[in-house]
Each structure stands twice: as C-alpha cells, then as structure tokens.
Chain A
C-alpha cells in the first residue's frame, strides 16, 4: 500500500525466506567471515576473467539461496538483480544459467534493497510466490572499470572505499517462515555537488539521510523504533556525515544502533581506507550476517538503507557531479514467532 510520499507498507507480510552470502579472499579475513556460506581464496575463482569470476559469485549465491529456501529452481517465479559492471553482464550471464524470468535492476550499490523492495511489492500484488533477489560485485572488475588497472601503482586517499568481492542473494516469498518485509521507502536522487570519485561516502551520506528522514516521516515512526539501522556502504566518512546530517534535523540515533555494511565487512587491521563498498557490500552483510542476527532474534526490527552512487567513469571525466540514491527496507521478526 502506498504510504506517505514515497513509501510502501506491505500488509500481506512478504517473507525473507532465505539468504546467502558468498565472498572472496579479503572478506574471508574480515570479521563477518563466519556468516558467509562460501568463501573463495583467490580473486580469479577458477575463471578466465574477473567478470566471469563475478558471474560465478552470483551463480553460487543464487544456488545457495534457492537451496536454503528448500524449494526447486522451477518454483522461483522471478529473478531481480543487478551489478556494477557495464550493462550488468555478470548478472545477465548468471540469469542465463539460472533460466528464471529475469528483471535487471541498476542502482549501483543500492541495487540490493531496490530489488528487495520491488520483489516485496510484486508479491504484495500477488504477482509471484517466490522471487530471488540479489547483487554482486568484484574488487578487480570494479577497479578496472571505475578506476585504474589493478596493478597500477596509484595512491588512494583515505576517503576512498574498497569494492567488496562477493554476492548476496535473498529469497522473498509469499508464505513461509522467516523475517517479514514490512515497509520500503524508495529514495530520490540526492546530488549535493560531490565530484571526487574517491569520496563516495560523502556523495551517499545525504541520500541515506534523506531516505531515512522520509521513511520515518512517511510511517510516523521514531528512529528508536528500529533495533538497528544498517546503511549500505557509506564507509567511515559517509557514516559520520550521515549521523551529523540526521542530528542536524533532530533525528538522533545511538552510534551502536547505526551500523554500516561498509564498516562491518572488513576489520580495522585490513587496508580498506574508509571501508567497503560495491553492490555486494550491503547484499552480503544484509542477507548474510544481518539475516542471521534476525533469525537468531538478536535484533527484531532492522531498517536496511542501501546506498549507491550513480556515476560512471565517463560522467566523472566530463566533470559531472555524483548523483546518489538510497532505498530503505524495513525487515522485522513477526510477533507470533
């Protein structure tokens, strides 16, 4: 049901039936390693290109999510997914392998929650019984597309972020047991003139804050209603800015409730600059670690706010600013469980 200015309230309780997270070598050394279903110790993943490796990540994550949902491949009605690589070829090829009717989505690193929100809306409208959603990214394939060749010796500033190698998938279903998708807020593009592609956190922070403020307003909820707010991949710089922006409009949140996927996925001893990023970042943290926390009832109400910067290397070279977006999805444990 359309609520407020840009939100949906789901009354039919679409279920987050299962989730999967697959990662690479850096993620295997991170603090969330135990929440991954599969970890590769090599960035090539037995493939001939990094793009093929990313495709494999997506295929493994999809297969795991279907397997953990205890359903057959044929039962999945739609596959909604996307990634960062030009024309989303890793996802397209994975969809070719899966042979599930496919809707491609691109909102950069906000793709994970964009897909979940769309899947929940389709299920709410009785448009499907099972929808597989997810997103993937690969450090080396993103590096070569967005920045420099992997072996090029450039010096990254402290504000830059490190693309997560991985894929996370979620099975959204009409019925079943699991956390329930309660609400979603579709974000607007917020572009406050940031032009430095090595400072994506600063570009995304106002988008995250805008979506959070709108979400709370649309549903007339205090931020304390949620046990945790998990932002996409703001990183250290973006998270600090986002907290300040929220404070500026009297939305105060305890720092331990305001989690960021980009800061959770890597440990302080790993050289990742301001934190993780990439479309897999929020996907692996949300559908891996946070889903485990929800299933274990360690948290019961979580607002996932996936954030993405929608720039391209071309737009940066043409001196355009970096438009950013954030989508929020509220996932809660049912009261009867």
Chain B
C-alpha cells in the first residue's frame, strides 16, 4: 500500500478565525442588557428605599444619607456573597450586579473569602483589593485630574 500524503494542516490563523467565529456561542447582548437593567435597577430601588429610610427615621439629609446607604448595601452584599448567592446572581444579571456599589463590595469580599486559606496577612490582607484595587487607583486618579482641571479653570476665571 502506498503511503497517502498527509493533508495540509493546520489552516492559517486568519482562515481559522472565520471557522472559529462561525461556531462560537453568541453572547445574548440584548437579553443581557435587559437582565442587567432589571437587576441593576432593582438594586438601585433598594438603595433608594434604604436612603429614604435613613432620611425619614434618622437625622440624615438627602446629601448625608449616601454614606450609610452604601454601607448598608455593602453589608447586605457581604451576606449574599458569604452565603454563596452573589456569583449565581452575577451570572444571571452581568453588569446589573457588577456596576452598582454592590459589585465593588462583592469584588472585595469574594477576594477576602477566597484567600482565607493563605492566612490573614498575606492571604486576606494582600489579596482583598486584588480585583477592587483598579477601581480605587483609577477612581482616585480621575478625581485628582478633574479637581486639577477645575482649579485651573477657576484660576483662569472661566468658571
């Protein structure tokens, strides 16, 4: 029997990209947006209720109620994350649970729980802001830039 020649393989990266993309499971963008809107919106409604609660029953104004509201939402997130439900909710709602402050809380809390096995200092302490760190770094940096722009504009008498 004569040896059959080996077929040419593999294809080029460019032609493979087309083959591969044809088989990819498409992301249901519209559905994801609707789910994110509903769940994210619900979280905001809960936040608003908490805020009104602090304004009505405690000595807070619309401006000062923000901090206790955020703290309460993060506390609820901690419980939901700890009981292992936030990741399931996150899979369903995507940006809906990632964008509100609860997403930030979940990033910190999940990292803290995850690294408990490596001890409190190099585990929990060093890894707690692993995912939330960029939010703090770039949050502070953008605040600085905006403040700088505002100061310059004020000095120039524009605003």
Contacts and interface: CB of A to CB of B under 8 A. Distances in A.
B56 interface: no
Given A144-B114, A151-B114, A157-B25, A214 B6 contact: yes
Contact of B25 (A193, A217, A220, A237): A237
A206 B16 contact: yes
Interface residues of B, number: 47
A244 B88 CA distance: 34
A173 interface: no
A50 interface: yes
A45 interface: no
Given A149-B131, A192-B11, A241-B20, A49 B98 contact: no
B9 interface: yes
Contact of B87 (A150, A190, A194, A273): A150
Q: Determine the interface band of chain A, counting residues with CB < 8 A from chain B.
A: 35 or more
B26 A150 contact: no
A250 B25 contact: no
Q: For B11, B13, B23, B97, which residue has the most chain A Cβ atoms within 10 angstroms?
A: B23
B27 A217 contact: no
A209 B94 CA distance: 34
B42 interface: no
Q: For B25, B87, B95, which residue has the most chain A Cβ atoms within 10 angstroms?
A: B25
Question: What does DSSP make chain A's interface, helix, strand, loop or mixed?
Answer: loop
A153 B27 contact: no
A237 B94 CA distance: 22
A151 B113 contact: yes
A206 B11 contact: yes
B20 A153 contact: no
A210 B114 CA distance: 39
Contact of A210 (B10, B20, B87): B10
Nearest to A243: B23
A152 interface: yes
A217 B6 contact: yes
A317 interface: no
Given A157-B27, A158-B26, A241-B23, A152 B16 contact: no
A237 to B, nearest CB: 6
A193 B113 contact: no
B72 interface: no
Contacts of B103: 153
B11 A217 contact: no
B81 interface: yes
A192 B9 contact: no
B121 to A, nearest CB: 17
A307 interface: no
B15 to A, nearest CB: 9
Considering the complex of A and B, which 9 residue pairs feature the smallest CB-CB distances, nearest first? A153-B90, A158-B25, A149-B114, A249-B7, A155-B94, A151-B110, A149-B110, A193-B13, A49-B117
Given A158-B26, A210-B10, 6 more contacts: A151-B106, A159-B24, A192-B16, A220-B4, A244-B23, A249-B7
27 contacts: A48-B117, A50-B117, A149-B114, A150-B110, A151-B110, A152-B110, A153-B87, A153-B89, A153-B91, A153-B98, A153-B103, A153-B106, A154-B87, A154-B98, A155-B94, A157-B27, A158-B26, A199-B20, A210-B10, A237-B23, A237-B24, A240-B23, A245-B10, A245-B11, A245-B19, A249-B9, A271-B91
Interface of B: 1, 3-4, 6-13, 16-17, 19-20, 23-27, 32, 81-82, 84, 86-95, 97-98, 103, 106-107, 109-111, 113-115, 117, 131
Interface of A: 48-51, 144, 148-159, 190, 192-194, 199, 202, 205-206, 209-210, 213-214, 217, 220, 236-237, 240-241, 244-245, 248-251, 271, 273-274
